[in-house]
Every structure is written in structure tokens, then in C-alpha cells.
Homo-oligomer: A and B are copies of this chain.
Amino acid sequence: MADNKKAVNAITNMDEDFAQWYTDIVKKAELIEYTSVKGCMAIRPYGYAIWENIQRILDGMFKETGHENVCMPMFIPESLLEKEKDHVEGFAPECAWVTLGGSEKLEEKLCVRPTSETLFCEHYNHIVHSYRDLPKLYNQWVNVVRWEKTTRPFLRSREFLWQEGHTIHATAEEAIEETERMLNVYATFCEESLAIPVIKGRKTDSDKFAGAVATYAIEALMHDGKALQAGTSHYFGDGFAKAFDIQYANKDNQLTYPHQTSWGVTTRLIGAIIMTHGDDSGLALPPAVAPIQAVIIPVAQHKEGVLEKAGELLDRLKKAGLRAKLDDSENSPGWKFAEYEMKGVPLRIEIGPKDIENGQCVMVTRHNGEKSFVKLEDLETAAAEKLKAVHDGLYQKALENRERRTYSCTTLDEITKALAENGDGFVKAMWCGEEACEDEVKEKTGVGSRCIPFEQEHISDVCVCCGKPAKHLVYWGKAY
């Protein structure tokens, strides 16, 4: 128990200092290590294994919806980036530029991709000529760079890993359908694999992706009441096609501009997992992406038969398709309990001489510490049920946090009061559609527009700010 306490005390209490708690977790759970390159992290095996699980599940969902993986170059010549006016204005200020190759100055500087619309457009210009070439449904899993001033591991780093989907379609209808389809894929993934409830909606014009006609997003609420944009999907219309001269001959042999989309999620999702599910004992991982789903901890492992039995259970769990681990190291059980709590392993299985005598083991679920005795013959079914219970429990807890922290307001004063009394959270309030009001809400109350949710509600007739007729319900919040 002394060991246990020591390890637990090593993390800052989350209600005392949430930011420090977060930093403690990413380091102590061995997700990342800092490097000498500011804003660039070394993702360690345990952190990367979470990303591999995210990739595997999402990649399957992309392929099921007809997408193919490709890989574009990481460099964008300045002249190519400049072809679409809004796009370059949005991204140029945060580009890292390569100006030297070996010892020679480059004739044209190359930006390290902050996103790859321009490269995909150049490629489409080469390969799309006829309606028979459409649609192209592409995705790539790559690294990108944005030269941020303030950085935090996973949440905002200069280099990050992501996937970027890029598709091109004959018609606007098809492209809009794709934009919505992929937002739904993201929402399903967040809810069913990460146990994170999300709000689906459209960004206001001031918050759109540079070059997009419309940006859709999923927004999640973190434990501290701040919002996190967990994924975006953009509809481009034919703006990029015009800028890059992409045309196809339609069935009547007339040259036509196609319509495009792009969509992405990043390693930021790992930050979302930490801040949605973590607690004062450390990480709490949703079973679908946990590198270790069940850890077996032998008790009194020096006693005859304990390690053999523990090994048997490990084999059975692995055979049942679980990512299981047996920790037979010299550390004390108490130390191990704390270690795997810190690492957020969903299910702990304890087995000692008395358990073996009684033909049972102990199962403890990470998210609520609930302990139960399970007959050894029921090992596999019980483990599967417990993992399901962990997923559902994490999701419910996150949903309850969001519901408790969602405030319906009809005036700016109500917003200020709700936030002061209950802490940060989502504010639901009506909006007239004017950017001036959006700015004023932010200035006076501190919350910005997060999205115009697809599921609209009617809270009042008028804009929360100017009192003129309201056009939309908007979710407002402070954002990561």
C-alpha cells in the first residue's frame, strides 16, 4: 500500500490543476517524452499503440466506405500553395519552410505540408479527365507540421500525426453527401470506440477551414468543461477545382468542374481520451483502443502453482482475442495495481493461492474500481462482459459530465452567471448569424461558437446578443 500511495501521489490532483494533471499523465503513463525540438514529441510505445489501434479501426471504416490509401509528398512548393487564395492566407503564417537542400539554396522554397489539399489538387489535375475517373476516394496517414507558438502534447503540437481524406466527385450533391458521411464515421468512432459522446454540427463562417464552403465538426466536452474539436469534414464546392484547373469531360463530353471534400482526425484524439476519461489515479482507456485490455496480476506469486495458473489465464484470454498481459515482475502487487491504474488498463485480474483453491479469480474494472469474484470457467465471458461494462461506464460518465455542464441561456448575463456558478461547459444559446454578435459573445462571456448543431432546438426567438430574430441554436464554449 505504501508503494501504491507513492505512485498515486505522483500525479497532481485534477481539480487542483487540470493542466498539470494532464502533463503528469502523458509523462507518467509513458505516452510521450519531450525532445529538444520545441513542440515536437517522441511518442513512446504505450502512446503509439493507442494510435495504432485508432488507425486500425478507422482505416477499416474508411475502406468499408470505399476509400483507398495513397501517399502524397511532404513538401509543397510555395507557388503551389499560393494557387488557392483563402487557403494560402490561412496556412502560410504557420508553415515551416525548407530553403536549403544540402548546402544549396533552393530556387523555390518548399513548405512542409500543414495539410495536403494543394498536392491532391495537383494530382487530380493529372489523373482526372473523364466522368469515368470519378469519384476518387482517397485517404493518407501521414505527419503534418504547423508552426504553433504555444504547444501541448497531443493537443497542439508543431508536428502531429493524422489522416487526411481527400475526395473528388462529379456533383456537389455527391460531395456534400461524402462530407456528411465521413463526419458520421468520426462520430460513430468516437462514441463506439473511444466512449466519447460528441455533438455533430457545422462551423460558423468565421471558423471554417481556409478554402472551404462549409466545415462540419464533432465537438466533445472534456472533464474540465472545455470543448475539444475532435474531427472535421470540409466541403469545398468547386473552388479548388477552379484554382487548380481540374476539369472532366461529362457524359455529354462537356468540360465540367468537379467538387471536392477533405476530412481529418489527428493524434489529438489521444488528448481527448485522456481529458474525457482520466482521473486522479491516471489514465482510463476505452477497451477498443487500450494497448492492454486486461492485466493479470498474480498474488503471492512465489507460492506453488500461482504463476502457472496465471499463465493459463493469459493464454485463454489471448486465445479469446483479448490484448492481455501477465505482469510476473518482482514488483509488489500493490505497486502493480497502481501502475496499471495509472496506465488506464480497463480490466485487472488478480489470482492468488486462495483464489485457485476456490476456482476463481478477482476482476476489477478501472473506471469505477468495482471488484467481483469470477469462476475460472467463466473467465472469457466475464472478461468480455466487464470490458463492455467499462466502455458503457466511461461513456455514461462522460455523457453525464457533459449534461451537467451544458447550460441553456437566453441572455449574456445568464451565460456569465451559469459559467461562474457551475464552471466551464457548453452554453446553448440562439444566434442571429452575424459575426459581430459572435465576437461580442466571446468578448463579454469568454465562450466562442463551437458549432451549429445538426439537431437544432428552439430556446428563444431572438439572438442571445443583439435581440434580433435568431437563425440558429449554437453551442458555445471555451476550446482547447
> Hey, which bits of chain A sit against chain B, CB under 8 A?
33-37, 40-45, 48-49, 51-52, 68-77, 80, 92-103, 109-110, 112, 119, 122-123, 126-127, 138, 142-143, 145, 147, 159, 161
Centre residue among A95, A96, A142 by max chain B CB count within 10 A: A96
Q: In the assembly, what is the distance between CA of A112 and CA of B101, in Å?
A: 10
Q: What residues of B have a CB within 8 angstroms of the CB of A80 in the complex?
A: 36
Known interface pairs A95-B102, A98-B97. Does A75 touch B37 (Cβ–Cβ under 8 Å)? yes
Q: Assess the B98–A102 pair: CB atoms within 8 A.
A: no
Q: What residues of B have a CB within 8 angstroms of the CB of A70 in the complex?
A: 42-45, 48
Known interface pairs A42-B70, A122-B36. Does A97 touch B100 (Cβ–Cβ under 8 Å)? yes
Q: What residues of B have a CB within 8 angstroms of the CB of A95 in the complex?
A: 102
Q: In the assembly, what is the distance between CA of A68 and CA of B103, in Å?
A: 36
Can you name 14 extra interface pairs (CB under 8 A) apart from A35-B122, A44-B70, A51-B71?
A36-B77, A37-B73, A37-B76, A40-B73, A45-B69, A74-B143, A74-B145, A75-B96, A92-B102, A93-B102, A96-B98, A96-B101, A99-B99, A99-B100
Chain B proximity of A102: nearest CB distance (Å):
5
Chain B proximity of A267: nearest CB distance (Å):
9
**Can you identify 9 A-B contacts, CB atoms within 8 angstroms?**
A36-B77, A36-B80, A43-B70, A49-B68, A49-B69, A52-B69, A75-B159, A96-B101, A96-B110
CB-nearest residue of chain B to A41: B73
**A138 partner, pick from B45, B109, B143, beta carbons under 8 A:** B45
Q: Assess the A42–B71 pair: CB atoms within 8 A.
A: yes
**A127 partner, pick from B33, B40, B122, beta carbons under 8 A:** B33
Q: What residues of B have a CB within 8 angstroms of the CB of A51 in the complex?
A: 71
Q: In the assembly, what is the distance between CA of A142 and CA of B40, in Å?
A: 15
Q: Assess the B103–A96 pair: CB atoms within 8 A.
A: no
Q: In the assembly, what is the distance between CA of A74 and CA of B37, in Å?
A: 9
Q: Assess the A35–B119 pair: CB atoms within 8 A.
A: yes
Q: In the assembly, what is the distance between CA of A69 and CA of B48, in Å?
A: 7
Q: In the assembly, what is the distance between CA of A138 and CA of B42, in Å?
A: 12
Chain B proximity of A46: nearest CB distance (Å):
9
Q: In the assembly, what is the distance between CA of A330 and CA of B43, in Å?
A: 49
Query: Closest 3 interchain pairs by CB?
Result: A40-B73, A45-B68, A97-B100
Q: What residues of B have a CB within 8 angstroms of the CB of A103 in the complex?
A: 93
Q: Assess the A35–B123 pair: CB atoms within 8 A.
A: yes
Chain B proximity of A367: nearest CB distance (Å):
26
Known interface pairs A69-B49, A101-B147. Does A119 touch B42 (Cβ–Cβ under 8 Å)? yes
Q: Assess the A126–B48 pair: CB atoms within 8 A.
A: no
Q: Assess the B72–A42 pair: CB atoms within 8 A.
A: yes
Known interface pairs A69-B52, A145-B74. Does A37 touch B99 (Cβ–Cβ under 8 Å)? no
Q: What residues of B have a CB within 8 angstroms of the CB of A147 in the complex?
A: 101-102
Q: In the assembly, what is the distance between CA of A42 and CA of B48, in Å?
A: 26
Known interface pairs A35-B119, A100-B109. Does A73 touch B42 (Cβ–Cβ under 8 Å)? yes
Q: What residues of B have a CB within 8 angstroms of the CB of A159 in the complex?
A: 73-75
Q: In the assembly, what is the distance between CA of A147 and CA of B71, in Å?
A: 19
Chain B proximity of A328: nearest CB distance (Å):
15
Q: What residues of B have a CB within 8 angstroms of the CB of A40 in the complex?
A: 73-75
Q: What residues of B have a CB within 8 angstroms of the CB of A73 in the complex?
A: 35, 37, 40-42, 159
